[in-house]
Amino acid sequence: MNEQDLREQMEISVGTDLGQPVVDPAADIARGRRRLRRRRVASGFAAATSVAAVAALGLQFLPAFSGDRTAPPAAGQPMSARDAATAAVVQEVQTQKLSTVVRRHVDPTGAYTVGKREEAFTTKDASKPLGIGALTFTHEWKQDGGVGLLWVSVAYPDHAPARTKWCGPRFTKDLMAVRCFDTKDANGRPVVGGSAGSVANSKGVFYVKSGGQFARYERPDGQVVIIAVLRMKSLKRVADDLPEGVTAPRVTREQLYAAATDPAMTLAEK
């Protein structure tokens, strides 16, 4: 068999096996349009979901996501290098303390939070005991070959996202669903828990278990604790395919409630 024989044989084989082809450009155009629509929706959705996730997770500390580890001082109140160093130490001490408490409840065997702690950022408020109005930090959650996110926030009431903001608005299944369940702690104080969100990939596929769970607790001293374990590590991943085999984070709502209601989850001197 030479090259020409192969060419001829291919023509015969394809002709025999496939028969007379049906060429219908209209059907291909319709499929192309659907794909184009999905792509536009997905790119719009990625932006919308990022915004929704930011709102739903109470990520009011956006500067940290742009790389700043502390919120800038208010205009007209420049922070000295010494103040900045002190603030960084306070932030680190508080973060370590809170991280230890949370991980003791949600990951008692240390199986999932083996990766690095990532972001830690504060909102400054000179009127508060530590000069911190809110502290938020994240930690990698490694499970089943994928990387998710442990997200923790402790904030004074005037810096905390309201319950209504946390639990709503409700989106359709094509966007992001945040369901809330109300319960009470041993002292009758409200605890809110629920699914932290669901995402779609760039093809518009809806992943039922792509989100995670959260708990929100208003402490007796008024501080609000929010803890979430999410399947996705970064909001940038919203538009990507989620890795196969990564299941919902192995954390129960009870574990999250226990962590959120732990008396040590507070921004205090000790």
- Interface with another protein (CB under 8 A): 1-3, 6-7, 9-10, 12-14, 16-18, 21, 23, 25-26, 28-29, 31-36, 39, 244
Separation between Cα atoms, residue 230 and residue 212, nearest integer Å: 4
In order, the DSSP letters of 127-196 are TSTTSEEEEEEEEEEEETTEEEEEEEEEE-GGGSPPHHHHH-----TTS---EEEEEE-TTS-EEEEEE-
Is the CB of 35 or the CB of 209 nearer to another protein? Answer: 35
Separation between Cα atoms, residue 6 and residue 14, nearest integer Å: 12
Is the CB of 14 or the CB of 114 nearer to another protein? Answer: 14
Is the CB of 33 or the CB of 189 nearer to another protein? Answer: 33
Separation between Cα atoms, residue 23 and residue 167, nearest integer Å: 51
Number of C-alpha atoms within 13 angstroms, CB side, residue 227? 30
Smallest distance, another protein to C-beta of residue 2, A: 8
Smallest distance, another protein to C-beta of residue 22, A: 9
Smallest distance, another protein to C-beta of residue 212, A: 22
Is the CB of 21 or the CB of 188 nearer to another protein? Answer: 21
Is the CB of 21 or the CB of 145 nearer to another protein? Answer: 21
Task: Give one word for 199, left, alpha or beta, with left for phi > 0 and alpha for psi -120 to 50.
Answer: beta
For residue 150, with 0-12 CB atoms within 10 Å meaning exposed, 13-18 middle and 19 or more buried, which class applies?
buried
Is the CB of 15 or the CB of 168 nearer to another protein? Answer: 15
- What letter would DSSP give residue 1? -
Smallest distance, another protein to C-beta of residue 146, A: 15
127 token code pair:
């009127």
Smallest distance, another protein to C-beta of residue 46, A: 16
Q: Measuring CA to CA, which residue among 195, 258, 202, 265 is closest to residue 230?
A: 195
To which residue do tokens 């609000």 refer? 224
Is the CB of 42 or the CB of 191 nearer to another protein? Answer: 42
- Are 137 and 95 in contact by the 8 Å Cβ rule? The answer is yes
Smallest distance, another protein to C-beta of residue 208, A: 15
